[in-house]
Amino acid sequence: MNKEFDINFAREKDLNDPISKFRNEFNIPRFKDQEAVYFTGNSLGLQPKNYNQYLEQELLDWKSMAVEGHFHAKTPWFDYHKTLTKDVAYIVGAKEKEVVTMNALSVNLHLLLTSFYQPTHKKYKILCEPNLFPSDLYILHSQIELRGFDIKDSIVFAPIDSNGIVNEEALLDTIKANQEELAMIFIGGVNYYTGQVFDMEKITKMGHLYNIIVGFDLAHAVGNINLKLHDWGVDFAAWCSYKYLNSGPGNVSSIFIHENQIKKKPFRLSGWWGHQSDNRFALQKEHKPIHTAEGWQLSNAPIFGMSIYRVSLQFFTQIGFEKLIVKRIQLSRYLESAIHLFNSESNHIKLNIITPGTADKRGAQLSVHISDSGKEIYNSLKKSGVYVDWRDPNVMRISPVPLYNSFEDVAKFYHILHAFNK
């Protein structure tokens, strides 16, 4: 037996990990009489044990004061979204006026594209990666049709290799080659399928060189990699809060709009919550928007969901990205060695990692192609208390999350896989 994946050796690594205690802050799903190996935090983050820290109060305030809660709740609901702003700005590297929390992700992407996709007859195309998230492609298609353009002629795909990885030099060349026609670049900052991390700063600079708006879907990036959206000059971005941010299923999304774009006062779809707050309830005839990202709000805030997002964001400000990233790199390397060892011992099953190998090109997720009977492996893992996820035709996504996964989780994963060889 290889010592590196001995359970006691892994536990020793956990003891030396300065943030290992945060695992105790989360409810880990159970399998038989043990904790399951949960490697799907990229899809749905775990529940913080203190999810109730604010929720209970909001329910009590609703119970005892009902409508008065808008102004007199312990945290008045009228401006509840503001309780999130500072932490949200921190996790994406934004100024506070550049972010707001509202709606769900796909809805927000439509709102942002309504403002920032402004095609002309000459400049109307959108560049994206060919394996972008299905919802994102539907969003792009419907926005293109809404503006009266033809989807067949309006999307430029970045070139990918046979594993679905985008060569970034080729991506930049594609921008250059299509500069006259591109109105927008829209990419998942971390690709949901391959786990590839894009150089958002470089892409943004290149886009701006040719007067192209640059936006990112950060669903798989936020809480996973260190983002500096303001400094990078990104025009807009949006993300959900229930993947690496652990706020609960279907919970609210946040958006980023660079202050340079806010200043230009682009067209936006308007609702009462984006109206200047001092006379928001006066119900005037003319919409006077707040001159920050808050001006993009439409509806009053979903308080209960937001109250959990408040809790889950605290971990990131408490720990800080530097520590999370150190652990993320160690944990994914450990998983990578486990997979390599498994492959070297296995005669028939091979897990071929497609996610790029360098730490700046990947986050917590490793995607693997499985050469042979992959779906069976996935099903067997599931039956053994391992949560990973399967994407047809042959990709398994495995995401050890630094906030709550342990080195022991990875060692257990190795032993369960190893047993399939017998």
Ligand X SMILES: *Cc1c(COP(=O)(O)O)cnc(C)c1O
Shortest distance in whole angstroms from residue 176 CB to ligand X: 26
Cβ contact 159:167 at 8 Å: yes
Shortest distance (Å) from residue 66 CB to ligand X: 30
Q: How far apart are CA 248 and CA 307, in angstroms?
A: 11
Kindly determine how many residues on this chain lie close enough to bind ligand X according to the rule CB under 6 A: 12
CB of 112 to ligand X, least distance (A): 12
Least CB distance to ligand X at residue 63 (A): 29
Residue 252 in the binding site for ligand X (CB under 6 A): no
Taking the C-alpha atoms of residue 372 and residue 355, their distance in angstroms, rounded to an integer, is: 19
Q: 303-332: which residues touch ligand X (CB under 6 A)?
A: none
- Kindly identify the residues of this chain, within the stretch 93-112, that bind ligand X according to CB under 6 A: 104-106
Q: Which stretch binds ligand X (CB under 6 A): 75-83, 214-222, 279-287, 338-346?
A: 214-222
Q: How far is the CB of 127 from ligand X (least distance, A)?
A: 16
Please give the single-letter amino acid code of residue 33: D
If binding is defined by CB under 6 A, does position 133 make contact with ligand X? yes
Query: Taking the complex as a whole, how short is the minimal distance between the CB of residue 387 and ligand X, in angstroms?
Result: 16
Class of residue 353 by CB neighbours under 10 A (exposed 0-12, middle 13-18, buried 19+): buried
For position 135 contacting ligand X by CB under 6 A, the verdict is: yes
What is the rounded CA–CA span in Å between residue 390 and residue 395? 6
The verdict on 219 binding ligand X (CB under 6 A) reads: yes
**DSSP states of 377-394 as a string?**
HHHHHHHTTEE-EEETTT
Closest CA to 236 of 293, 155, 317: 293
Question: Which residue has tokens 């353009």?
Answer: 149
Q: Which of 270, 329, 257 is nearest to 297 (CA)?
A: 270
Residue 129 binds to ligand X (criterion: CB under 6 A): no
Q: Of these, 217, 294, 389, 408, which contacts ligand X (CB under 6 A)?
A: 217
Candidate segments 90-98, 110-118, 129-137, 261-269, binder of ligand X by CB under 6 A: 129-137
3 state SS of 160: strand
Stretch binding ligand X (CB under 6 A), from 130-138, 207-215, 305-313, 384-392: 130-138
Q: Which helix (H) or strand (E) holds 253?
A: strand 253-257
* Region at 121 (left for phi over 0; alpha for psi -120 to 50; beta for the rest): alpha
CB of 220 to ligand X, least distance (A): 5
* Site residues, ligand X (CB under 6 A): 104-106, 133, 135-136, 188, 192, 217, 219-220, 240
